[in-house]
Chains A and B, each alone.
Chain A
Amino acid sequence: MENPIHLLEEILDESPIHFYKLRRYLPIWLHRFIPIGGGKPDDEHGKTLFGFTVFLLSESIVFLSFFFTYIALRLTTPNWLPPGVSGPELSGFTIFNTLVLLSSSIVIQLAENALKRRKIRRFRLLWLITSAMGTYFLIAQAIEWSQLNFRLTTGLVGGTFYVLTGFHGLHVLVGVLLQILMVIRSFIRGNYNKGHFGVSATTLFWHFVDGIWVILFSLLYIW
């Protein structure tokens, strides 16, 4: 690592966005960081998945702090909805979107199972359906946001609603991006003995995002 250019190269070699000789390195990078395929998960796989699970546990505490804030504020505020605000109401549209998101958890699990049995085509199909469902949810949420009759700064209801759903939506977005990355990866021939950490992690992440939504949905719409 003699000069800054070398350093830059080294960083770029390792970075997810490989501008430099992208076509040559992308497959190598994907091999190293997102091993895919069936077979027995080896130690590397278990270790990485463990690290990812620990990350999710920690991530859930951020959500927990938001839930705590929401519950505490809501319990102590006499007029939760300021005059003229009808709040996020439970509509058929919201219920439908929730159902789409929750069932995508089942689809993604089926996809991962398909991959474990090395049914790559089936995996790709189900996986793409999941990302379509996730994308649909994001678009639906944007539509819902645009139709609400309160804003971020409206009392406590506005702040809590937009910050909580926004933070969750950010996670959905990351999930969808991860899914797209995995599909691209699945088109590159892989070393199938290295497990499929990327896919397992994305699946886990997706279940996590869905689980959080169940809590959010109950707090924001049903309570």
Chain B
Amino acid sequence: MTNNSIEDMGRASESEKPNWRDYLGFSKDHKVIGVQYMVTTFIFFLFGGLLAMIIRGELVTPESNLVDRSLYNGLFTLHGTVMIFLWIIPFMAGLANYLVPLMIGARDMAFPLLNAIAFWIIPPAGILLLSSFLLPGGPAQAGWWSYPPISLQNLSDKLVNGQFIWILSVILLGISSILGGINFITTIVWMRAPGMTFFRMPIFVWTVLSAQMLQLFCLPSLTGALILLFFDLSFGTNFFKSSQNGDPIIYQHLFWFYSHPAVYVMALPAFGIFSEILPAFSRNPLFGYRSVAIASFGIAIVSTFVWVHHMFTSATPDWMRILFMASSMLVAIPTGVKVFAWTATVWNGRLHLLTPVLFALGGVVMFIFGGVTGVMLSSVPFDIHVNNTYFVVGHFHYVVHNTITMAIFAAIYFWFPKITGKMYAEGWGKVHFLLTFIGANLTFFPMHALGLQGMLRRVSSYDPRYQGWNVIVSVGAFLLGMATLPFIANMISSLLQGSKASDNPWHATGLEWKTSSPPPKENFEEIPVVNEPPYHYNDRSEPTPEAVIQE
């Protein structure tokens, strides 16, 4: 580094592949950063899962006997926060980091240094958040929404309290996301390979672009809200204190103006993953490519004007309720387009049921269910009935866990050979899928019944008549927790001693499969020139994924 001329400073020797030490250090290679993101966030996922296990342990019996109430509040608050801000959102950022430059034929992201900084904000912010368990008053207890006035009760009377730490970490994670968003949008707009027009981009890239635009335009609203909350909590201002003429409802507006679109920041890349995997394993071009691409944008746009459906019971005037009920139901149109396209793709093709596609299909099926309960919830009378009950918990877990987390697993299996150059163990993958699928439905389906019967969320004790379903839910949750064990074992052992994967084990289209596995430092020996649309799975003479696995 010392004697290089200015031009050489950024470019290290090109043939060099990253070794394991690079993953522990400050690298500017988007592939290394992508893996760093994915591994780090998976560790946070395990933490979040552990918190969920304790929550479900508490709820096995109607009495509150495992943890006390304030610890219980801290548990579900950090569970939600970790899963959203430290698992799904940054995992998707990591996956996109790995894939987007490869998929559009670029050598790296637009701003590699910024990329590294965005990642390195996450571990300290996450550790900071989790460390609040050690504070005298414990972690934040106001739920992942942190609505005032609850979030303004300072439980320890100290300046540095759980809520303080919560706000700080979420703001930091937000800054990381904004830096990432700038990088993704610039990369996709400016760094596409020759011939890679917008309508030749893989759907995954479209979904990342839409999701990151949501990050950029909606996330600052949460940052603004949290800055004001911070001043209220720590410096005695009155923005959200109704006793002082402040207005807690304003916080809700600012919060949901981000946090509704945030569900699509998580869901859109999952849709992108489905759109990559289903064609590859059906040997069939993605049905209605253009409509699916445009639908991604449609979803992003519609999702920015539906946020009030989270506030139907927050003293919202009727005209506003009706308006937002209608706009919420509009989301069903572009998402319907997508579901239809996936179904048609699989329908017309010859499906090969390997682990990635099992997870993808499982995810799509459960998304249909989660989408339907979503549309039900956006109907005002129904929402008033089940608001704040386990029905809502069931709905969003069908989406965030059963759809998006399943999509993440699908993605990990699908791109594992590309990232590591090794093949995972197919049999264990199927075991993982089976346990996950059963566990997930056992956990989240009964929640709808509980909600309809009136069981409230965020409670550590409940009426004994709800116990039956709760036991089933807890059993499902422990099964789900165990399901990750074969996954972890599979990943580690395959990484160490898996058979060597070829450059394109699935015979998939897409530029990421046109380079070696794992790809060299600057991705491609030569920047590819693109002259056809993606998903051209028409050559029936090619070996199928199944044949490849059995080789």
Contact = CB atoms under 8 A, between A and B. Distances in A.
Given A50-B190, A57-B217, A73-B250, 12 more contacts: A1-B21, A7-B25, A10-B25, A58-B217, A61-B218, A68-B254, A69-B228, A73-B239, A76-B247, A77-B245, A155-B245, A156-B239
A61 to B, nearest CB: 4
B159 to A, nearest CB: 15
Contacts of B224: 61-66, 69
A70 to B, nearest CB: 9
Which applies to chain B's interface (DSSP): helix, strand, loop or mixed? helix
Interface string A171-214: 00000000000000000000000000000000000000000000
A10 B224 CA distance: 34
22 contacts: A1-B27, A7-B26, A11-B26, A14-B113, A43-B190, A47-B110, A58-B182, A59-B220, A62-B220, A62-B223, A64-B220, A66-B224, A69-B224, A69-B239, A72-B250, A152-B237, A155-B245, A156-B245, A158-B237, A163-B227, A163-B231, A167-B227
Nearest to A63: B224
Nearest to A163: B231
Contacts of A51: 110-111, 182-183, 185-186
B231 A58 contact: no
B221 interface: yes
Given A72-B250, A155-B238, A32 B9 contact: yes
Contacts of A66: 224, 228
B13 interface: no
Kindly state the interface size class of chain B when it binds its partner: 35 or more
A50 to B, nearest CB: 6
Contacts of B235: 152-153
B244 A156 contact: yes
Contacts of A167: 227
A60 B221 CA distance: 10
B181 interface: yes
B243 to A, nearest CB: 12
B496 interface: no
Given A62-B220, A156-B238, A72 B247 contact: yes
Contact of B237 (A63, A68, A76, A153): A153
Interface in A73-100: 73, 76-77
Interface of B: 1, 6, 9-10, 21-22, 25-27, 110-111, 113, 178, 181-183, 185-186, 189-191, 216-221, 223-225, 227-228, 231-232, 235-239, 244-247, 250, 253-254, 257
A160 B231 CA distance: 10
Contact of A58 (B25, B216, B232): B216
Contacts of B245: 73, 77, 155-156
A159 B247 CA distance: 13
A10 B236 CA distance: 43
Contacts of B22: 1
B1 A156 contact: no
B115 to A, nearest CB: 11
A47 B220 CA distance: 23
A2, A32, A69, A77 pick with most chain B CB within 10 angstroms: A69
Nearest to A59: B220
A136 B217 CA distance: 33
A9 interface: yes
A55 interface: yes
A68 B250 contact: yes
Nearest to A158: B237
A54 interface: yes
A47 B250 contact: no
Contacts of B178: 55, 58
A62 B111 CA distance: 23
A62 B113 CA distance: 24
